[in-house]
Structure 1
Amino acid sequence: MNYKDLMADLKKGRIEPVYLIYGPEHLLATMMKDHIKKTLVEPAYEQFNYTYVDGRDLEVSEIVNYCETLPFMEEKKLVVIAGYSELSGKGASDPQIAQLTDYIQSPNPTTCLVFLSDTVDKKKKLTKQLIKCGQVVVCDKLDPRDLAKWIQKTVKLAGKTMAPRALEIFIESIGYLGKDSKMDLYDVENEVEKLIAFCGVQVNIDESMVERITAKNVENNIFEMLDHLGRGSVDAGLTILNRLLTDGESPPKILQMMVRQLRILYQCKWLRAQGHSAGSIAKEAGLRSFQVNKALNQGKRFDYERLACGYQACREAEVKMKSSR
């Protein structure tokens, strides 16, 4: 199940005895843990009925003991084990792991046990048992629609509103949805907080505010640089390149992004010439719709020969740069 399925269950009061919550979105996983806690544990008895433990050096017997202890003045208690090494496959396996897998097969009905992990090794006995007997919640990166809702909700909680076009520009600028992006929701949250702080007492966030505060990522800068080159504005393109270098971006990374963008332009331009729609191109190239539309517009300024020559030149420079290290 995903986080939305879990939220739906919690609203209906359905709480499983064992959960495995994992995935690259740490903030989302933490939020799911907090929602389970809010549903299950009364604040007045939190010190008795809520246990959060770093699982990196935890022994099996300790986990089972936490789970077997009865709750105080409530029907259930919550035990959260974070970063348990047995799940990720790091380090040697605990010889007593069978004790924990047996518990998961027949858990204490008065305890809700939650494992939080960045990654899991599905070959491990514990992981297999959790998948078989527990409820697995995968916290992957948000899709465009859910990301927009999440940002709007965060903005609303701050007492502000955000125009649809401003939201669209903001999402494109931060780069979270990029195919190779390593950005997570903590990074997005930080960008949203900066935007909110910048707006001050202003309630409505419009396009101009977003454009003034959002720091452009490398991908957007590369796109803008190629856009200038396509228009014949070489000086403007070089200005962006110098800005990237001054800001500390590494030349290999800049070159890598240029190669990627030129490849995208060529691929989108060629697929369009074959009669593909923007939606079909997005699916074929593994891109977002807005990326395809931007690439198609930019591709009009380049013919196939210029794109191929630029791509080849960047690839050769990339090889020389790697071989000279």
Structure 2
Amino acid sequence: MSAEQIISDWKKNIYKPFYWLEGEENYYIDKIMDYAEHHILSEAEAGFNLTVFYGRDAEWTEVLNACKRFPMFAERQVVLLKEAQYMKDIAKLETYFEQPQPSTVLVVGYKEKKLDARTKLAKTVKQKGELFSTKKIYDSKLPEWTQQMVQQHGYTINQKAVLLLVDHIGNDLSRIENEVNKILVNLRDRKNITEEDIETYVGISKEFNAFELQLAIAQKNLSKAVRIVQYFEQNPKAAPIQVILPTLYNFFSKTAMVFGVSGGESAVASAIGVNPYFVKDYVQAAKNYGAQGVENILLLLHKYNLRSIGINDAGTSDADLMKEMMVKMMY
């Protein structure tokens, strides 16, 4: 069952006695937990029937006793156990999971971890309640996820704007959504988010960013690449070298995979795991550098990553390291 399905059921007053939310992607766990805290009960009901625990501070007996209480002046009560991964003796709640209180909705947030499926606790949770397990979304799926999220709000976003946003923020779904919400407040009558909106409301230059640098290198456009690095030098927070180098390494790692794929751009996009809209950049880089050139770039990225943290380097500035590296890549 997805996060949307769980919330949809709650809106229809369909509840299971407890929900165990686990895994790597905190965004969905937080989304479900937030709805449970603020929307299952009315404001008047919540005063008597909402109990929130935090795993670092709560004792399993306290949680157990709260779950066994009966609701006051309401059909049900809600008990939330946040950050349950830090709770000692959490396995002792198994006795409650075996015989949960029908009038209690217990929601457990077990972030960054998963139950061992072989244990009795995991089997009981799956059998008696709802086990919701998440995993991090692949970076290649972030543009598509962002577009769908924007569409759910009743808006659209163009491809360049998507890439700027995702490239700047990375794999942080909550922050992406927060930035989108900030933009939507300022769109007024417009229904489409553009790169100009990203530049204005998120603070990312549409001309000088890690994606444009990546594109300039892929095109072997040294002058453009140097201009972008000079912008980064004057605006250190725009794209630190510790962000740029992994981004370039990821791009050229996927470019290296292009040489093993036969077929058109759609086949390449599927094989290397990128959005079809952007696959032309990888194909172009492969043509411009060849297999040997791409291999050389990956070696250079590793070498300059070490130098950026002071290994085999006497203190060269980040900007000078980038310029030197790009010259060696392109010539």
Q: For 1:185, which of 135, 151, 173 is the aligned residue?
A: 173
Q: Using the TM superposition, give the Cα deviation of residue 223 of structure 1 relative to its aligned residue in structure 2, in angstroms.
A: 4.1
Distance 2:11 2:185 in 1: 33
Distance 1:55 1:226 in 2: 43
Q: Give the equivalent residue in structure 1 for 2:59.
A: 59
Q: For 1:210, which of 179, 183, 197 is the aligned residue?
A: 197
Q: Give the equivalent residue in structure 2 for 1:137.
A: 132
Distance 1:313 1:40 in 2: 54
Matches within 5 A, 1:88-103: 88=85, 90=86, 93-94=88-89, 97-98=91-92, 100-103=93-96
Structure 2 alignment gaps of length 5 or more: 314-331
Q: Could you tell me whether the CA contact under 8 Å between 1:22 and 1:120 is conserved in 2?
A: yes
Calculate percent identity across the aligned residue pairs.
18
Q: Give the equivalent residue in structure 1 for 2:225.
A: 237
Q: Give the equivalent residue in structure 1 for 2:6.
A: 6
Per-residue CA deviation, residues 27-71 of structure 1 (Å, 9 max, x unaligned), is: 432332344456642332211111122221211110111011111
Q: Taking structure 1 as reference, are residues 265 and 146 closer, same or farther at Cα in structure 2, changes over 3 Å only?
A: closer
Matches within 5 A, 1:125-274: 126-127=121-122, 129-141=124-136, 145-154=144-153, 156=154, 161-162=155-156, 166-175=157-166, 182-199=170-187, 201-207=188-194, 209-210=196-197, 212-213=199-200, 214-216=202-204, 221-229=209-217, 231=219, 233-245=221-233, 246-248=235-237, 249-268=239-258, 270-271=259-260, 274=261
Q: Give the equivalent residue in structure 1 for 2:47.
A: 47
Which region of structure 1 is more displaced relative to structure 2, 207-216 or 66-75? 207-216
Q: Give the equivalent residue in structure 2 for 1:68.
A: 68
Distance 1:35 1:149 in 2: 20
Q: Using the TM superposition, give the Cα deviation of residue 285 of structure 1 relative to its aligned residue in structure 2, in angstroms.
A: 2.4
Q: Could you tell me whether the CA contact under 8 Å between 1:121 and 1:127 is conserved in 2?
A: no
Is the partner of 1:28 in helix, strand or coil?
Answer: helix
Q: Give the equivalent residue in structure 2 for 1:289.
A: 276
Q: Using the TM superposition, give the Cα deviation of residue 238 of structure 1 relative to its aligned residue in structure 2, in angstroms.
A: 1.0
Distance 2:26 2:283 in 1: 35
**TM-score, structure 2 as length reference:** 0.75
Is the partner of 2:71 in helix, strand or coil?
Answer: coil
Q: Using the TM superposition, give the Cα deviation of residue 239 of structure 1 relative to its aligned residue in structure 2, in angstroms.
A: 1.6
Q: Using the TM superposition, give the Cα deviation of residue 118 of structure 1 relative to its aligned residue in structure 2, in angstroms.
A: 1.5
Structure 1 alignment gaps of length 5 or more: none
- Aligned residue type for 1:16: K
Q: Could you tell me whether the CA contact under 8 Å between 2:18 and 2:129 is conserved in 1?
A: yes
Q: Could you tell me whether the CA contact under 8 Å between 1:141 and 1:184 is conserved in 2?
A: no
Aligned-residue CA RMSD (Å): 3.4
Distance 2:145 2:295 in 1: 37
Distance 1:281 1:106 in 2: 52
Q: Could you tell me whether the CA contact under 8 Å between 1:169 and 1:210 is conserved in 2?
A: no
**TM-score, structure 1 as length reference:** 0.76
Q: Taking structure 1 as reference, are residues 229 and 26 closer, same or farther at Cα in structure 2, changes over 3 Å only?
A: closer
What is the total number of aligned residue pairs between the two structures? 302
Q: Using the TM superposition, give the Cα deviation of residue 305 of structure 1 relative to its aligned residue in structure 2, in angstroms.
A: 4.1
Per-residue CA deviation, residues 115-154 of structure 1 (Å, 9 max, x unaligned), is: 0132234237655542343211234456555542322334
